[in-house]
Chains A and B, each alone.
Chain A
Amino acid sequence: MEVSYYPGCSIEGVAREYGESVEAVARMLGIDLKELKDWTCCGAASAHATDDMLALALPARNLETADKTGLDLVTPCAACYSRLKHADKALRAGEKIEGVSDGYRGDFSIKHLVDFIWEELGEKAILEKLKKPLRDLKAVCYYGCLITRPPRVTDAGNPDNPESMDNILQTLGAEVKNWSYKTDCCGADHALTMPEVAWKLVQKLFDMAGEAGADAIVVACPLCHSNLDTHQEEVSAQAGKRYQIPIFYFTELMGLAFGDSGAEKWFGRHFVDPRPLLRQKGLL
């Protein structure tokens, strides 16, 4: 199955383990990721706060490339996904965007990778590759605010309770816990400018994940991951209690469950080392 692939900048930097696990899992599932030629930054972090036109033009440029291939477009980053969908809606509405030529056909769909895997491949394809069920791994799935919201842009059917990641993890054999905080904001955008606000939001997620009985949080966004994974010491200091919660990319766990040999290497790049937990569960 061929798809256009927009990895986004984080994948090449802070989220290298995400990028590698995405590629590994795609390979095993038979998804042929065709990286968009000459792709550029989508402007997620700053453009939309600075310049409305730039916020559309950057992703639109990438969409023009995808349009030519006609293949469905997949991205693993929630922020990239959001920007691409915004630009797509604007182009479809016939908005003029600087630097983008007319004639956008748009006969392809844009999907976040987590939705793509569940909706296009589903349970059967995952079960076929499953080698090491994630038995006893108690986790909550955290989608963050951008995969489903705003629904008029994302077209999400159930913006408050997405389920694709939960379904994937459940199929992998994990004990996925229900919780009400799947799409609460983690404050990643403010992680640098107003860190104490972000830490408070993160702390709530940690508390509620604990309340739900989870040992780990699974994400599908590099920004969420870095915000949740890297600041646990600061969050602990601010909250006055110690947090040490492994944060996984869902693809890492897929890779692990599919028996990919690279998995352990990915986990080594996390701030909060998830390997003790995985060893304790007999998964490493």
Chain B
Amino acid sequence: MVVGGGICGMQSALDLANSGFKVYLVEETTSIGGRMSQLDKTFPTNDCSMCMLSPKLIEVDKHLNIEILSNSQVQSVEGETGNFNVKVLKKPRYVDIEKCSSCGDCFDVCPVDLINEFEQGLNTYKAINKRYPQAIPSAVAISKSARPPCKLTCPAGCNGQGYVALISKGKYLEALDHIKQWIPLPAVLGRICHHPCEQECNRNEVDQPVAIAPLKRFAADIVRQKRKDGEIPPEEKPVIDKSKPKVAVVGAGPSGLTCAHELVKLGYPVAVFERDAAPGGQLWSAIPKYRLPKDVLAADIKDIVDLGIDLKLNAPVNGQNGLEALKKQGYKAIYLAIGAQKSRSLPIPGVDLPRVLLALDFLRDVNQGKKVDIGNRVVVIGGGNVAMDVARTARRLGAEDVTAICLECAGEMPAHPWEIEEAVAEGVKIMNSWGPTEIVSKNGSVAGVAFQKCTSVFDGEGKFSPTFDESVTTSVDGDTVIIAIGQATDLSVLPEKTGVKTTRGGWLIVDPLTLATEEEGIFAGGDGVTGPKSAVEAIKHGHEAAVSIDRYLSGLDLGEGREPKQEEPAPLPEGKHEKKPRLGTKYIALGKRLSGFDEIVTALTEEEAIKEAERCLDCGLCSECLQCVAVCQAKAIDHDMKEEEVELQVGSVVLAPGFEPFDAKIKSEYGYGRMANVLTSLDFERVLSASGPFQGQVLRLSDGRHPVKVAWIQCVGSRDQTCGRDYCSSVCCMYATKEAIIAREHESTVQPTIFYNDIRAFGKGFERYYESAKSKFGVRYVKGIPSGVKELQQSQNLLIEYTGEDGRKIQEEFDMVVLSIGLQPSASTRELAAKLGIERDRFGFCRTDELAPNITSHDGIYVAGAFDAPMDIPESVMSASSAACLAAREIADVRGTLVTEKEYPPEKDITKEEPRVGVFVCRCGSNIARVVDVPGVAEYASTLPNVVHAEENLYTCSTDTQSKIINAIKEKGLNRVVVASCSPRTHEPLFQDTIREGCLNKFLFEMANIRDQCSWVHASHMPEATKKAKDLVRMAVARATTLEPLFEHPAEVKRRGLVIGGGLSGMTAALEMAGQGYEVVLVEREKELGGNLWRIRYTADGADPQALLASLVEQVEKEPKITLYRGAEVKNISGYLGNYTAEIITKSGESINVEHGVVILATGGTEYKPAEYLYGQSDKVLTQLELEEKIAGGSDDVSKLNSVVMIQCVGSREEEHMYCSRVCCTQAVNNAIKLKELNPDTEVYILYRDIRTYGMNELLYRQAREKGVTFIRYDVENKPDVSEENGKLTVTVYDPVLGAEVELMPDMLVLSVAIRPQADAEDFASRLKLPLTQDGFYMEAHMKLRPLDFVNEGMYLCGLAHSPRFISESIVQARGAVSRALTILSRPYLMVGGVVSVVDADRCVACLTCVRSCPFGVPRINEDGVAYIEAAACQGCGICASQCPRKAITVQHYKDEQVTALTAVLAGS
């Protein structure tokens, strides 16, 4: 198992899978590719990161033996090496990877814009998204957090975020349809719902809640209007299935109507029985018109009834006849939604007086337009919402003095706060904490009400139990008293004998989950069950009842799976949320409010509604509006996917979880996150990227202007104790240099400045790159890290203060600042390591032993890449291969046992047939079809010569279309197949495989790219795009007719390795290879094994290299699989991949031939013997290795030294040798510490140019400074001067910080000398036809992604032959090289042939053009005197074919006539 799908994890997985193992690749995000996918170019070659990565992604994706587990996390690893049981948590992607064709149709309909993390927040992407276009697995994914509080709070479960998001994008009909899934009365509820969703809205924490309810009203109203205007078609009606059992609903209030609505949509015949003359229940009778206009109510109800409900008005269901009669009429289920329509009265004297009214009766009369005489003064008893409605209605009827008086104190009133506020605004007086004792009369008429003080309403348990103080009384005068203290239900619906039970308070008793009464087939809900509650709660009951009735009538279990779930709502999303005032509750003028029953809250305008909807913070990320589901033609989306835990059996584990960038906000002095034009280096990568948010233009975030002066600040979150990151992140100096160069390449006006501590260009080719940045690209390097960045408010430019060369403070203005942020293990990596019990250092990096790299504290688990230590891409790739080597060794004996190889039916011979071409044109969902006339193209294709079949498909890559292609081959006798769809880069292998399954040779396939190169780029020119698509198809068909079958044949692999060089790297490689079960021939030209390792006495960590050396030599000598030649040399190597022959001259001068399949070159390097600084002339001048020898030897002299000077970069980083020797700074610092430990009084001076103690070596540098080692910088133009007089050394050096010369008189001068290639490297390389770099080290196939391979396949390199490096790094390379070699050695044979160059011997004149032009050195002149190209070695690049002046060479599959066939038909058009 490989954990982490970045470049490192991918390399490990590929090495393992290519050497015969089944690999699970576990990736935390939804796609592999890691950080490298975010980078623009890479140093030092300026290659495009994505272009390099993309083929690797596809290789991993298509690999039969790699299974990608994306969106997954390792939970635990149990067991032991060779037999681990791993639990992996697979998080839901909500998209079926198999079905999704990644067409992106869903992006267009998704209403939710989220901060695009891949683009570093520089733009947004949709909640359904693909991290980047080339992402693998090539399927979209949905970003979801927990469900939003609005949805979870709604009693009916209505998804507020969903419809609000849709409204924000102007999708009103979609919003309304969404609302109606839960709320069948949207215009009503949009007005009168008490919207608990808004109380819980997370936006409350920022300013005010989103106007969720008013937006519902808006959606309902605007769609109704647009339907009226004919802009939107009427709602579709369900088909009612007359054969289904009939259902009766009693009561046409919100609950009854909802139940009927749901059931009719399921096809049930439903009748609703309403005793009143109009439907709506209390919505009709009790809610005043100023809150809910009657036409709105009627329209909402009409929409429901029009679905096909049989609404019976004035149809009371009473007593014995009622329910029984319904049953007799054939209603198989009945829902009692009878409400709570009766007002309760008070048991006090005077309630029988005229003008003592009950609230609901009063409201009903007013609503029906009856004239109700109430006089001028009205006393309302009660403090609930009904009381407020009553009081406000009374005001509208002309009563000037209206008082609502209640038991509760102000904070306890049951009415909603806004109802009270509105009432007070309308002049209603509120009196709290009074209980009525009597309605006072005068002359038989009401005169007022007497009250006593209420001291408390609820008892200790919160139950209603009022207490009074009789001694405190008051009275209120009034002409009318209206009692609004509670409601009751009318139970006359029930017959005398019934199974339906009621409570003592007179409410119906039901099963709370299913709403079933105790009588079979009778269900009940709404206020009749719960007592007076809100409309939305009644609606909730309506839904539940419908579910129960459907299950009851279908004979299913009523309760199953309906237990309420406790879900934690999504919190307020992180980040700063700008305050924006709420729009939504605007009232009409007060005078107008009181003069009639006009609706008091005005409607949102369209503009306001969108603005208000945009205030939603998308708490749940995905809004679950389900638009994607509707649009996805592949049916790939499943919002109900759950996370699952899988258990896997694996033999070993490679951890390659990578790094996360340092959070630049921690270094707040640099203003990141606060100043618009301060970016991080990763942000800047996206700015530079051609596929990034600015299409590669360098722009400022504040104003979109092109910046001129751009500054980089190095070491942000590196080499910095103040933020707990003392280590060096190793890569930042180089990436900053690269970014500066590329920025200039993008905009020549950019003037880059890099503020740095030390430029650490220590890798292969880095120094030259750094030099070119200065000399060729004008990058200015300023030594010193600024302490902060200031921002100018007018220009948003940035001020940086630094010290100039002359020691004076300089303040400089920049247009943009880029922070070079460091690397650190991510939080999830730390968690993973903790779960697995992997030891880490104090920074969180994996702890490994210096001489045992990649090996964690947990047996069988190996670490690779940036979790080990900060490192760049090539180091990660080498580390990946090294870890793969270790992981394979554990289970080498089961290699090949779990691999899958595909079996195919026999191929059909078509050579004698006329071409019969089948053309498959892809719609790609709507990706192609919305621009290109796909049926037209298919039709056109069918008219082309040789085409015998043409069709169009929704997705040509889908599994069903694959079978259609195979069938067509068989049924129509196709012998060539053309697919017109997307890019062959991603899809050609798939289709080739398909036709091979259809018994055709895979080379009889051709592709036309009518998506990426047509519909995507010509969206605004549809007719022309169709014409171009036809051209492309015609060309593809023309070429297809010329295609011929090609065959690959197996070539045996000599399963033996040759390792050249018996130093640390060579011995390590030989042992690893032998350990994996392969024979090795190890050739060392010296008499002893060991090479440079002999001279290294200690390491920075205090490990013992000599013990390692002894152990390696012993193991090599003992290993039976290793054939060792000491004192021998490899003279020549001939042959090709898998089949080489080496000529070895042994110690005795004998020449022997060894056959082998692969070569690992580990020929090492050598220490430079300086000609400068009196070396060799004075015995006081030593090299670092010589000093090391003395220290390790325990020589007394070294502890008695008064003063030691060390000079760095002797023979490195100069015109002739423009490379850094990488190890010398650490070596010097380490030796300096040793000297200080031996004698703290020894003065040690290190004269340096840049201290390059990268990675954890930085800690040594700090330690040396703390111990008092003095560091003096010098410039290369001003090197130190060394002289000796009378046996006394004098070192003079100009110190730029002091601005003066310093004269030192040391007892010893130690030179940090360069590492050089072997003296005979050039000669050896030319014999083996291997390339060298400018500096004489061997050159790898590719600096970034193939660092251990030679271009010549089957040849690998490691150790100092590659470049200068530390012991641990050499070990990594040696193992890595073995891992690469195993991808060949593990196979018994290789398939060769196919797309390769073939020589026509008759035409060849042996002019050597091909021999000279082949970059791989494959063609040679054979015994017959003509060119010969070994198929096994040929890469099929075609250079020789294009160069051959006699046209004697052709590349198979790209013959001249095959290429000209394309152009001929294009020209012919």
Contact = CB atoms under 8 A, between A and B. Distances in A.
B720 interface: no
B793 A160 contact: no
A159 B793 CA distance: 20
B793 A178 contact: yes
Interface string A145-187: 0000000000000111100000000000000011111000000
A208 B801 CA distance: 15
**What are the 8 A-B residue pairs with the smallest beta carbon separation, nearest first?**
A180-B790, A212-B793, A160-B668, A180-B791, A160-B669, A158-B668, A211-B793, A161-B674
B792 A211 contact: yes
B674 A211 contact: no
A195 B790 CA distance: 25
Contact of A213 (B788, B789, B791, B793): B793
B110 to A, nearest CB: 35
Interface string B890-908: 0000000000000000000
A160 B669 CA distance: 6
Given A160-B669, A180-B799, 4 more contacts: A161-B668, A161-B674, A178-B793, A213-B793
Contacts of B671: 160-161, 180
Contacts of A208: 790
Interface centre among B671, B792, B793, B799 (most CB of A within 10 A): B793
Interface string A123-147: 0000000000000000000000000
Contact of A181 (B668, B675, B789, B790): B790
B1195 interface: no
Given A160-B788, A161-B674, A179 B793 contact: yes
Contacts of A213: 793-794
Contacts of B794: 211, 213
A159 B723 CA distance: 14
Interface string A210-238: 01110000000000000000000000000
7 contacts: A160-B669, A161-B668, A161-B671, A178-B791, A179-B791, A211-B792, A211-B794
A178 B675 CA distance: 10
A212 B794 CA distance: 7
Interface of B: 668-669, 671, 674-675, 788-794, 799
A128 B668 CA distance: 33
Contacts of B789: 180
A159 B668 contact: yes
A208 B792 CA distance: 8
B577 to A, nearest CB: 14
Contacts of B669: 160
Nearest to A181: B790
A177 B788 CA distance: 20
Contacts of A179: 791, 793
Contacts of B668: 158-161
Interface centre among A177, A180, A212 (most CB of B within 10 A): A180
Nearest to B795: A211
Nearest to A184: B790
A150 B668 CA distance: 13
B801 to A, nearest CB: 11
How large, as a class, is the contact surface on chain A?
Answer: 10 to 19
Contacts of A160: 668-669, 671, 788
Interface in A211-268: 211-213
A178 B674 CA distance: 10
A28 B398 CA distance: 42
A21 to B, nearest CB: 28
A66 B1042 CA distance: 96
A213 B793 CA distance: 8
A178 B669 CA distance: 15
A5 B1097 CA distance: 66
B1145 to A, nearest CB: 69
B1408 to A, nearest CB: 68
A244 B1235 CA distance: 62
Interface in A179-207: 179-181
A96 to B, nearest CB: 28
A177 B793 CA distance: 9
Contacts of A181: 790
A185 to B, nearest CB: 13
Nearest to B673: A161
B791 to A, nearest CB: 5
A213 B794 CA distance: 8
Nearest to B669: A160
A212 to B, nearest CB: 4
A162 B817 CA distance: 22
A145 to B, nearest CB: 13
Contacts of B675: 180
Nearest to B667: A160
A180 B786 CA distance: 15
B1384 to A, nearest CB: 57
Contacts of A212: 793
Contacts of A178: 791, 793
A66 B333 CA distance: 74
A160 B675 CA distance: 12
Contacts of A161: 668, 671, 674
A182 B1096 CA distance: 55
Contacts of A177: 793
A158 B667 CA distance: 10
B703 to A, nearest CB: 16
A180 B789 CA distance: 8
Contacts of B792: 211
Contacts of B799: 180
A284 B623 CA distance: 51
A153 to B, nearest CB: 14
A161 B671 CA distance: 9
B1199 to A, nearest CB: 39
A181 to B, nearest CB: 7
A161 B678 CA distance: 15
Nearest to B665: A158
A181 B669 CA distance: 11
A178 B794 CA distance: 10
A212 B799 CA distance: 14
A208 B790 CA distance: 10
Nearest to A157: B668
B70 to A, nearest CB: 37
B676 to A, nearest CB: 11
Nearest to B788: A160
B713 to A, nearest CB: 15
B459 to A, nearest CB: 32
A143 to B, nearest CB: 14
A5 B792 CA distance: 38
A94 to B, nearest CB: 24
A164 B374 CA distance: 56
A240 B1086 CA distance: 80
A206 B790 CA distance: 15
A143 B669 CA distance: 15
A161 B789 CA distance: 12
A188 B1269 CA distance: 38
A160 B799 CA distance: 15
A180 B794 CA distance: 12
Contacts of A158: 668
A161 B675 CA distance: 11
Contacts of B790: 180-181, 208
A4 to B, nearest CB: 31
A177 B792 CA distance: 11
Contacts of B793: 177-179, 211-213
A152 to B, nearest CB: 10
A1 to B, nearest CB: 21
A211 B790 CA distance: 12
A233 B854 CA distance: 68
Nearest to B670: A160
A158 B794 CA distance: 24
A181 B790 CA distance: 8
Interface centre among A160, A178, A181, A208 (most CB of B within 10 A): A160
A158 B792 CA distance: 20
Nearest to A209: B793
A186 to B, nearest CB: 15
